[in-house]
């Protein structure tokens, strides 16, 4: 996610195809096949010459069995061979592991003026966000302030700016419910608002995903005894690039 949002999009890699490695195939064999087919593994000077000549450049990134091919505008066989699958990230976000990545104008600045510059936009995907908001709203009165603080703190997400806004809206919903019931309000200081920059191509010897909550209750109830088999946290990870080249929350 970090690699796509912070590196590729700002260099014009807006056209993409997302796919999965077929069962029975080695991911490394698909890597090699696609990189050779589209001549992706070239030097920066070659990319510069291609761009100057009006030809497209491509990037390839994979997490586990999910991969994304990204291209800049220009001439390339990619646009012919993948014509039915290509999407423009400015119009159709990449949705993966509970995140949504798009590229759009910045909106309003702090002084109220419009920011016309385009930016990568990483947020919790809408269905995932609504599930999380409902989950926290349900727990607003059932859990203590310490339990709610722990739940927010342990959310396995990468807090990009749009994600931070979503976290604040979830906290406001919790405080709204608690205020109606005359309960103590929670400070926004409990939110995990600092994003950790990772090295996306550095292989880690061991990877572990912490449970969203650990208060001694059975894992089958989502850690909070929630009366549902669906846990809105299960699709999230601290950063999809956290594990090999992770995206948007954990790519599955």
Q: What pLDDT tens digit does each residue of the chain (252 aa) get?
A: 889 999 999 999 999 999 999 999 999 999 999 999 999 999 999 999 999 999 999 999 999 999 999 999 999 999 999 999 999 999 999 999 999 999 998 766 777 777 778 999 999 999 999 999 999 999 999 999 999 999 999 898 899 999 999 999 999 999 999 999 999 999 999 998 888 777 766 654 443 333 333 333 333 333 333 334 445 555 554 433 333 233 333 332
Same domain, 103 and 129: no
Residue 251 falls inside a structural domain: no
In whole angstroms, give the CA distance from residue 20 to residue 157: 23
How much helix, strand and coil, in percent to the nearest 5, is found in the chain? 35, 20, 45
Q: Same structural domain for residues 155 and 197?
A: yes
Same domain, 167 and 208: yes
CB under 8 Å to 165, separation ≥6 — which residues? Answer: 123
Q: Considering its fold, how many domains does the chain have in total?
A: 2
Looking at the domain assignment, is residue 166 inside a domain? yes
Q: Which two tokens stand for residue 222?
A: 């989502």
Q: At which of 98, 121, 144 does a domain end?
A: 121
* pLDDT attached to residue 202: 64
User: Are residues 218 and 172 both part of a single domain?
Assistant: yes
Q: Contact at 8 Å (CB) between 95 and 125?
A: yes
- Is 209 a domain residue? yes
Helices (H), the chain: 2-3, 27-37, 44-52, 77-81, 126-139, 145-153, 161-180
pTM of the model: 0.74
Q: Does any domain span residue 196?
A: yes
Do 193 and 159 touch, CB atoms closer than 8 A?
yes
**Whether 103 and 33 share a structural domain:** yes
Q: Say what the pLDDT of residue 191 is.
A: 94
Residue ranges making up the domain that contains 35? 2-107+116-121
134 and 53 in a common domain: no
Report how far residue 196's alpha carbon sits from residue 47's, in angstroms, rounded to the nearest whole number. 30
Give the model's pLDDT for residue 57. Answer: 97
Say whether both 141 and 96 belong to one domain.
no
| Within-domain flag for 218 | yes
Residue with tokens 């990204």: 70
* 147 & 96 share domain: no
State residue 115's pLDDT score.
76
H/E run at residue 210: none
């Amino acid at each position: 996610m970090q690699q796509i949002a912070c590196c590729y999009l700002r260099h014009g890699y807006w056209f993409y195809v997302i796919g999965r490695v077929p069962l029975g195939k080695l991911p490394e064999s698909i890597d090699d096949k696609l990189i050779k087919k589209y001549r992706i593994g070239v030097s920066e000077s070659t990319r510069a010459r291609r761009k100057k000549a009006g030809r497209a450049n491509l990037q390839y990134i994979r997490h586990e069995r999910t991969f994304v091919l990204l291209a800049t505008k220009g001439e390339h066989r990619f646009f012919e061979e993948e014509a039915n699958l290509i999407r423009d990230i400015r119009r159709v976000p990449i949705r993966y592991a509970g995140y949504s990545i798009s590229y759009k104008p910045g909106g309003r600045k702090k002084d109220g003026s419009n920011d016309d510059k385009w930016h990568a936009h990483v947020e919790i995907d809408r269905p995932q966000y609504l599930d999380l908001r409902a989950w926290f709203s349900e727990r607003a009165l059932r859990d203590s302030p310490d339990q709610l603080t722990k739940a927010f703190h342990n959310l396995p997400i990468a807090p990009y700016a749009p994600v931070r806004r979503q976290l604040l809206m979830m906290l406001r919903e919790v405080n709204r419910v608690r205020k109606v019931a005359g309960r103590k309000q929670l400070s926004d200081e409990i939110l995990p608002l600092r994003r950790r920059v990772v090295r996306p191509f550095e292989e880690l010897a061991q990877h572990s995903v912490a449970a969203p909550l650990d208060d001694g209750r059975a894992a089958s109830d989502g850690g909070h005894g929630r009366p549902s088999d669906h846990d809105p946290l299960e699709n999230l990870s601290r950063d999809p690039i956290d594990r090999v080249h992770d995206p948007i929350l954990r790519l599955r």
